[in-house]
Structure 1
Amino acid sequence: MQSPGPPPPFAHTPYDGSSYPFTVGLRPIEELTWLEPDPLIADHLARKRELISGALESVFRAEADMIQAQHEVLDLICENLERFHSASHRFEKRKVFVAGVSEPVCIDHGPPLLAASLIVQEDLVIMRASPEGYRLAAASLCFPSSWSLEEKFSKPMSKIHENVPGFNGARMGRTVERLFENLKPGQLVCRYNWAIYDDANLYHPKPKQIEPAVRDADGNFLANLFLRVERQTLKRLPKSRDILFTIKVHHDPLSFLRAQENRHDIARGLRNQLLALKDDQLTYKGLARHREALADELSRLVNSEGRST
């Protein structure tokens, strides 16, 4: 058993025009690509274990009647890993050996959703239908991007997204609700979000503002920033009819960008989306104070020597 091949930095680039911020942007995917184990899996799982052992209620919540849905999620994830990811995951009875992790995970120990979260890098959220719309009924959420499970637990989507510009009272919220209602068993879709942070932490439960001190000695921004891309998937659980929402975080130092062969295209796409954000969207992403400086630095990278065609 070995770790998967190394993922390239900037493995997903939703800012290249393939999707846009504050839109739904769902696309179909195959079961083969549903989960994304990569060489960082041991580090990510170690961080999950730290958070779970130190602040369980901050990263795991489940309503009392969610146990069967949790089992359903665990079974689906184990089935997918056994089928498509035997290079990184090995199963012996009810124990799972993960590449790079010294101790196996006993998947019969503790809440099933928590066990599932300890064998994949993805965070796992179960949404259940209610009169107010789909609500967050169970979750193992160790790597949130500026939102708190403690605050959002058991709330419907309208409350979960009440601070997201353009979600409530606009087409986006209604579109998402219809998608949840109409998603069929066997369908698998994904979407992407991106954000910029000034540290390498995966656990970000509070809103983030980039600090002025992120410039390096030469006055550059990119050297101390991280581009965070969330790959989100949706799958209807065939038995409970709940929706499983997965979130895989890719958190790349922007300093890596200068070494990428396609750096000009990445910088151009990111700059274009940054400049297209409205004021409330910039504030939500924590970029209101630094958009122009970031755009200028990305522009210099776009126009640097070796520009791609």
Structure 2
Amino acid sequence: MQVFVSLFLLAVVASIVYILTSNRKQQRQQSDYKSKYVSDEPLPEPTPLWDLTPERLKTYDDRPWRPFRWPYHQTMSIFKLDINHWLDMDKWYHRYVTEKMDIIRRTGKEYCDTLPDGEDAAEELLDIVVDHLTKRYPRLFTRSPIGLDNHVTGEKMDLRRPLKEPALHYVARLAKEDFYLVKKRDDGRHYLVAAVVPAPGGFFGVQNKIGQHLDVIHTEVPYYEEKLKVSMERWFARMKVSDPVERASWFICWDHELSCNGIYSLEDGATVPSDTSFSKYNVRVCRQTLRRLPKSNAIIFSNHPIFYSIEEMKDEPFVPSILKKVVLEGPEKILKYKGFEKFDQHLVPYLDSLIQRQIDLGIIKADDPIKTSKSYPFADWYDIAEKHTGKGYTNPYWAKHDLQMPEPLGIPVHDEKKGPKL
């Protein structure tokens, strides 16, 4: 009997020690998490744009991205993100969210899926998207007793838990951006646990990437193995909640398809049809942000495609020159990855004519060295020292010639069987 009592008391003491040890371990983990991911300064609240109404949004432009640089190197090229610009709005908002949801409805989980260990991150992302939109754009989005009212699309969104649809479906109906949700697993490496990517522009499909490590996700990215692999995993591990960043990449296309541009639809060895009008050529800028969520600890990668016609940029110093330089002389793997060989012989004569035009107009000199603009990654006419005023931005070429800027996505045409098309 005494042996039994002794064993019982020993078990009780062991349990108490285990509980105390576990609590200390949990406290240390929380302390380590706070020191690793939370800086002393909290992430500021976005500044409300009170004068941006649904009516004004129809002609509203966001910051004019021009992420063209020379020499061209494959780097992350990140900038500190002003939280006001995490989810930017522009005149294409309604068009984008309508098309994105049409793609998701037609393709199911091909472009939108969440793994069990990504559910908490997906719901947290939804909450943060709602919080940001209602605070930054208070006349476009307002909270309601059941969730949120979208005054641009007219949707009254029911966000009561449990949600009636996957969390990322609501996210897709609220933001123009695509989202990738990445989490660190027990092996200390980062994996894609959820994604809503109906507008990748190329060959990215969720099902062949979800659940995979960063290295697998970036298999096709040029020079990833040589230049980015080690630093990216290390950088993800160190990223703080209060230090969101942004970057932009770009490629050239001759359409405005969100899911897959024509350049990636061409078969190997095929080139753009020779009768393709130069006026159709666009630069598709993929504006991207990275931020860590405070509760789930997931890292959110967003991507927002923006189309700029080469025509509208032709009077901006060195834009045609850098485009030509990169298309012909960029790193070999980059040229192949972006499909430049599919149109370079067709487009270069047009770029040459624009370069000569800039020389004739005195915008540049023939012997000026080609280099990255001081205003990079924005247009030369955009003053990056000024805060966003809420007035929107208009390319000066169109204002100077008193022209109405053409709508690159055209007027949405709805077909009851096929849905809206670009």
| TM-score of the aligned structures, taking structure 1 as reference length | 0.87
Question: Is 1:254 aligned to 2:314, yes or no?
Answer: no
Relative to its length, the structure with more strand (as a share) is 1
- Kindly provide the CA deviation profile for residues 216-251 of structure 1, in whole angstroms up to 9, marking residues without a partner as x: 4xxx5x322221111111001111111011111102
Q: Which region of structure 1 is more displaced relative to structure 2, 197-206 or 39-48? A: 197-206
Q: Which region of structure 1 is more displaced relative to structure 2, 56-65 or 90-99? A: 90-99
Question: Is 1:121 aligned to 2:176, yes or no?
Answer: yes
The answer to whether the 8 Å contact 2:101/2:172 transfers is: no
Q: Which runs of 4+ in 1 moved over 4 A?
A: none
State the distance in 2 between where 1:214 and 1:96 align: 49
State the distance in 2 between where 1:39 and 1:99 align: 14
User: 1:307 offset after TM fit, Å?
Assistant: 4.2
Structure 2: where are the runs of 5+ without partners? 1-52, 365-422
Residue 335 of structure 2 corresponds to 282
Residue 220 of structure 2 corresponds to 163
User: 1:293 offset after TM fit, Å?
Assistant: 4.1
State the distance in 2 between where 1:289 and 1:248 align: 24
- Kindly provide the CA deviation profile for residues 97-122 of structure 1, in whole angstroms up to 9, marking residues without a partner as x: 33431333333431222212210101
Residues 212-251 of structure 1 mapped to structure 2, 5 A cutoff:
212-213=272-273, 215-216=275-276, 222-251=278-307
Residues 76-225 of structure 1 mapped to structure 2, 5 A cutoff:
76-108=128-160, 109-130=164-185, 131=187, 133-146=189-202, 147-168=204-225, 170-204=226-260, 207-209=264-266, 211-213=271-273, 215-216=275-276, 222-225=278-281
The answer to whether the 8 Å contact 1:226/1:252 transfers is: yes
Q: 1:294 aligns with which of 347, 360, 371?
A: 347
| TM-score of the aligned structures, taking structure 2 as reference length | 0.65
User: 1:145 offset after TM fit, Å?
Assistant: 2.7
The answer to whether the 8 Å contact 2:72/2:330 transfers is: no
State the distance in 2 between where 1:45 and 1:133 align: 32
How many equivalent pairs are there? 299
State the distance in 1 between where 2:60 and 2:69 align: 22
Secondary structure, aligned partner of 2:351: helix
State the distance in 2 between where 1:93 and 1:64 align: 29
User: 1:27 offset after TM fit, Å?
Assistant: 0.9
Secondary structure, aligned partner of 1:151: coil
Name the aligned partner's letter for residue 339 of structure 2: G
Question: Is 1:75 aligned to 2:127, yes or no?
Answer: yes
Percentage of matched positions with identical amino acids: 20
Structure 1: where are the runs of 5+ without partners? none
Question: Is 1:51 aligned to 2:108, yes or no?
Answer: no
Q: Alpha carbons of 1:87 and 1:273: their partners in 2 closer, same or farther (altered >3 Å)? A: farther
Larger Rg: 2
State the distance in 2 between where 1:129 and 1:116 align: 22
User: 1:208 offset after TM fit, Å?
Assistant: 4.4
User: 1:141 offset after TM fit, Å?
Assistant: 0.7
Q: CA RMSD in A?
A: 2.4
The answer to whether the 8 Å contact 2:274/2:346 transfers is: no
State the distance in 1 between where 2:298 and 2:103 align: 26
